Chain A
Amino acid sequence: MTTTPSIPQLQPVPVYSPAEYVERLLSGGTLLPNTDENLKEVVGVLKAYGVVLDAYAINLQYIANHQFLNLVPILKYFDGKVTPQKVAKHIWHDRINYEYAEYVMRTMMWHGGGGLDAYLDSDDFWACCSPAIQAKSRLNPILFVFNKIFPEYLPEQVRQLAYYSGLGQFWRVMSDIFIDLADCYEQKKIESVDQVVEFIKAGLVADATKPITYSVTISGTSYDIIPASVGLTFLPDTAVPYVESIFFRGTPFFGTVSYNAQAHQIPIDQAHFGYGALFADPLPIGGAGIPPTLLMQDMRHYVPDYLERLYDNSVRGQDDVRVQLSQSFQKSMFCVTEAAVRGLMPYPSDTEDPKERVLNRDYLSGWLKRLAESRLNVVQRA
């Protein structure tokens, strides 16, 4: 009791202007400072994230394909393989929390954006989903009655299922990229944060035009919900809306902010939301509410040894591992954001043409302004 309290060394948060970040990006630097610890955290957490994303992606696509218009999908998290052990594990709750994947899916659907959102509101979508709904209704009188009384209800369910599928396909790609990244790190092929960004960017660009499609099979007949002819592709129609709605906008952590418009605690315009992964406070992890806690809880089981050791040596050790995971995750998401931003840059970053350089600078300034209120400054701390 009489020992001196060991208060850790406090460091102020460095403050950089957006222009300084733009300058750094144009001169080949990265948003996240290039340190060994940052590299370990980013790669380690992306490895754990990759494992979890793999499970999420498989489950999201399973729900989209095999739980189509199942209004009471109580076994949706079992991927079609129900065993007593899996049920016990599910109830015990030491499992992958697919609820988080659904939260992300709903947030994407709510914020919209990109080609997928536009397509789902079009007549083409209506034309595609009607036959599937009718086929399903023929087998199920409840659905039939439902569809007659509330003709908008089942199409809305199908829109959501399309998002299940879209997010599942997006995460399938991202999971593979992250696992490959961790493998390359372990093989010493990646030794700096800028190589991480470059690796992710290369992965995004390589799959940029990968088509996003969705079809379901009902009674042996295949119905296209998102046919390839719509022309939805990976980067503009899933990746960009995902970054926009999950990294930037997000939804306020439940229970911390009032959604009551009269309380003026949330922006009136949805586009001004700033509650996404890059803005989130990692500390309330472990409190009530779905979003961050469940993801960190899922990743906790797959943290690689080198990252585990890093956490063990921290002040609270494993006590606050979910908060630490959340902080590392935030760092890694700045790398993914940077990769996406670089991937969408109008001209190569090393262009010599002054006009192109100006346009590049304007483009980056636009992004960095949006990040002004994010935790970018916080992750600058060594």
Chain B
Amino acid sequence: MILSALILIPLVGALLISLWPTSLSTTYVRRGALVTLAVNLVVTVYLITQFDIANPGFQFVERLDWIEALGLSYALGVDGVALPLVAINSLLCFVSVYISAAVKRPRLYYSMLLLIASAVAGAFLAQNLLLFFLFYELELIPLYLLIAIWGGARRGYAATKFLIYTAFSGILILGAFLGLALLSDTGSFDYNPALAQGLTMFQQTLLMGCLLIGFGIKIPLVPFHTWLPDAHVEASTPLSVLLAGVLLKLGTYGILRFCVGLFPAAWLDISGLLAWWAVVSVLYGSLAAIAQTDMKKMVAYSSVGHMGYILLAASAATPLSILGTVMQMVSHGLISALMFLLVGVVYKKTGTRDLTILRGLLAPERGLPFIGSLMVLGAMASAGIPGMVGFISEFIVFRGSFESHAPQTLLCMVGSGLTAVYFLLMINRVFFGRLTAADDGVGGSIEITLPKVSWRDRGPAIALVLTIFAFGLQPEWMTRWIESTTTAFVPQAIRAATLVSQPAQTTKLAFKNVPKDIPEIAPEIIPKTALEITPS
């Protein structure tokens, strides 16, 4: 029941807030949402403590037949891939409610945030394809409303664009799921890695391609990314934190769970191409970020770049690189949430995010020196400076992908260098120099006094920075929950893949001392590292 609790607690909270019979002040609504998510966070921590790190499979499994005729069942489970994402969802939803202050129509606003928390947790935990799809679509509604109602000046445009893109993504995913059920002739949508085994390579590739594009829109991968910068720019800070920190991870989680998990053979068949796609995404995102003059757009494009690493690691599909995908999801979740939080504070205090206007915000007494210092740390983490979680995840991604996709990995590493370029450009423009004095129109300038920064503004960012350092200095605190699942994730996948393409060789793969003829037989689909780690 603990997994259902993670879905139900925010859902009940949302219902209570929106249906409470008497009128509620904003403070009470916010407190209610905060308490709900605090309870949710405590339950998540309890789940983490009860999680068996040695077990690579699904744990705390719950199953309830729902509409049997449709093959829809309420099946939940958590493994080492879903657990960190569930945790980061609980954490960042709490943070985003914490940083939300006075808003118009608070009951709708906070119940929408709670609904997102519930739907995203449901999507990460679902063990039924249709159930996943339901949660995946359910999360769109509150997100659309949050952008469309509480967004910036062009919120209508951004929200509609977001809706069109992600609705299309949903159609592709649903189509692929239906196709899989139809072609595999099982009639059930329950998650099962062997579901696609009987399909031909063409069928697998087709279904996997639909899923890939569907999730590629969500991640987003270039060229399906254009909704993201618009959505970020118009979204309020709490929403941007959620969007970058959690919601994009639905896409990468989907790729890992459904593309790699269900169609490993088809996946590995085109893995080289996928790695090139990752390169395009990383380099395009990074170069586009350099050209931005809006801080939020810059961070949004940096997300596009950094999510590309996940595709790279997933395409390599070695145990280490799969570990890298999950690590990168968590690390990007923490770092991008931090960056959006800080950009939000800058915007709140200065009224602009324009890089051509902002100057000298590190000014010790009149500027935002503390926020600026945290921003420097955030940029360092994002650029992969050792000591912070960004380094660990990027290192694992590159180390895990290098042997199978050397040129692609090297090019993606250039993207890591470009991260330093655009974030240092931003820091140099926004935080260094003399604090902006506005033009007074008659040749002089007007001194600007920025409003006070309270500890409430700084608190969440400090917590995120500490987490980033903690996992950077002691990555084992994170990898121990993930590793057994990700290590088992790949051998199963490869075995499944080889069953389809090279059935005669499957038994040999389990040997630790690989026979010399193996690379000749299946050089592309058997990364060396996987073989070394495969338990016999």
Q: List residues of chain A with CB under 8 Å of any chain B CB.
A: 1-3, 5-8, 10-13, 15, 281, 283-287, 314-317, 319-323, 377-378
A283 to chain B, nearest CB (A): 6
The 5 closest A-B pairs by CB, nearest first: A286-B364, A12-B440, A320-B365, A5-B351, A13-B444
Contacts of B452 in A (CB 8 A): 315-317, 319
Q: Complex formed: what's the CA distance from A105 to B209 in Å?
A: 77
State whether B364 touches A5 (Cβ < 8 A): no
State whether A315 touches B449 (Cβ < 8 A): yes
State whether B365 touches A7 (Cβ < 8 A): no
Nearest residue, chain B, Cβ from A12:
B440
- Whether B42 is near chain A, meaning CB under 8 Å from some CB there, is no
State whether A283 touches B435 (Cβ < 8 A): yes
Contacts of B442 in A (CB 8 A): 12, 15
Nearest residue, chain B, Cβ from A5:
B351
Q: Complex formed: what's the CA distance from A378 to B446 in Å?
A: 9
State whether B99 touches A1 (Cβ < 8 A): yes
B344 to chain A, nearest CB (A): 6
B231 to chain A, nearest CB (A): 16
State whether B363 touches A284 (Cβ < 8 A): yes
- Whether B473 is near chain A, meaning CB under 8 Å from some CB there, is no
State whether B451 touches A315 (Cβ < 8 A): yes
State whether B451 touches A15 (Cβ < 8 A): no
A5-B445 contact given A283-B435, A319-B452, CB 8 Å threshold: no
Residues 428-470 of B at the A interface (beta carbon under 8 Å): 434-435, 438, 440-452
State whether B365 touches A3 (Cβ < 8 A): no
State whether A286 touches B365 (Cβ < 8 A): yes
State whether A12 touches B444 (Cβ < 8 A): yes
A5-B349 contact given A284-B434, A286-B364, A377-B444, CB 8 Å threshold: yes
Interface size for chain B: under 10, 10 to 19, 20 to 34, or 35 or more residues?
35 or more
State whether A5 touches B444 (Cβ < 8 A): no
Residue in contact with B101 in the complex, picked from A2, A11, A283, A378, CB distance below 8 Å? A2
Contacts of B238 in A (CB 8 A): 1
In the complex, the number of residue pairs spanning A and B with C-beta atoms less than 8 Å apart equals 86
Q: Complex formed: what's the CA distance from A71 to B361 in Å?
A: 43
Q: Complex formed: what's the CA distance from A237 to B323 in Å?
A: 77
A-B contact pairs, 17 of them (CB 8 A): A1-B237, A1-B344, A1-B348, A2-B101, A5-B451, A6-B451, A8-B448, A10-B448, A12-B441, A12-B446, A284-B363, A286-B365, A287-B364, A320-B365, A322-B365, A377-B444, A378-B447
Question: Which one of A11, A316, A321, A322 has the greatest number of beta carbons of chain B within 10 Å?
Answer: A316
Q: Complex formed: what's the CA distance from A322 to B365 in Å?
A: 8
Q: Complex formed: what's the CA distance from A323 to B448 in Å?
A: 12
Q: Complex formed: what's the CA distance from A315 to B103 in Å?
A: 23
B145 to chain A, nearest CB (A): 15
Contacts of A287 in B (CB 8 A): 363-364
Q: A1-B100, A5-B350, A377-B444 are in contact. List 7 more A-B contacts (CB 8 A).
A: A7-B448, A8-B449, A12-B446, A13-B446, A283-B363, A315-B449, A378-B447
A283-B440 contact given A5-B350, A319-B452, CB 8 Å threshold: no
- Whether B366 is near chain A, meaning CB under 8 Å from some CB there, is yes
Q: Complex formed: what's the CA distance from A322 to B443 in Å?
A: 28
B328 to chain A, nearest CB (A): 27
Binary contact readout B358-377 vs A (1 if CB under 8 angstroms, 0 otherwise): 00000111100000000000
B104 to chain A, nearest CB (A): 8
A355 to chain B, nearest CB (A): 37
Residue in contact with B150 in the complex, picked from A2, A7, A314, A378, CB distance below 8 Å? A2
Question: Which one of B237, B348, B365 has the greatest number of beta carbons of chain A within 10 Å?
Answer: B365
Contacts of B364 in A (CB 8 A): 285-287
Nearest residue, chain A, Cβ from B109:
A2
- Whether B236 is near chain A, meaning CB under 8 Å from some CB there, is yes
Contacts of B102 in A (CB 8 A): 2-3
Nearest residue, chain A, Cβ from B103:
A2
State whether B365 touches A285 (Cβ < 8 A): yes
Contacts of A319 in B (CB 8 A): 365, 452
Q: Complex formed: what's the CA distance from A11 to B437 in Å?
A: 11
Q: Complex formed: what's the CA distance from A284 to B344 in Å?
A: 25
- Whether B402 is near chain A, meaning CB under 8 Å from some CB there, is no
Q: Complex formed: what's the CA distance from A283 to B366 in Å?
A: 7
Q: Complex formed: what's the CA distance from A11 to B446 in Å?
A: 7
Contacts of A315 in B (CB 8 A): 449-452
Contacts of B435 in A (CB 8 A): 283
Residues 500-526 of B at the A interface (beta carbon under 8 Å): none
- Whether B347 is near chain A, meaning CB under 8 Å from some CB there, is yes
Nearest residue, chain B, Cβ from A288:
B364
Contacts of A11 in B (CB 8 A): 446
Contacts of A12 in B (CB 8 A): 440-442, 444, 446
A280 to chain B, nearest CB (A): 13
A316-B449 contact given A1-B100, A2-B102, A2-B103, CB 8 Å threshold: yes
B390 to chain A, nearest CB (A): 25
Contacts of B444 in A (CB 8 A): 12-13, 15, 377
A374 to chain B, nearest CB (A): 13
Contacts of A1 in B (CB 8 A): 99-101, 236-238, 344, 348
State whether B366 touches A10 (Cβ < 8 A): no
Contacts of A378 in B (CB 8 A): 447
A14 to chain B, nearest CB (A): 9
Nearest residue, chain A, Cβ from B106:
A2
B119 to chain A, nearest CB (A): 22
Nearest residue, chain A, Cβ from B240:
A1
Residues 293-349 of B at the A interface (beta carbon under 8 Å): 344, 347-349
Q: Complex formed: what's the CA distance from A286 to B435 in Å?
A: 13
Contacts of A15 in B (CB 8 A): 442-444
B149 to chain A, nearest CB (A): 11
Contacts of B365 in A (CB 8 A): 285-286, 316, 319-323
B371 to chain A, nearest CB (A): 13
State whether A5 touches B348 (Cβ < 8 A): yes
State whether A316 touches B366 (Cβ < 8 A): yes
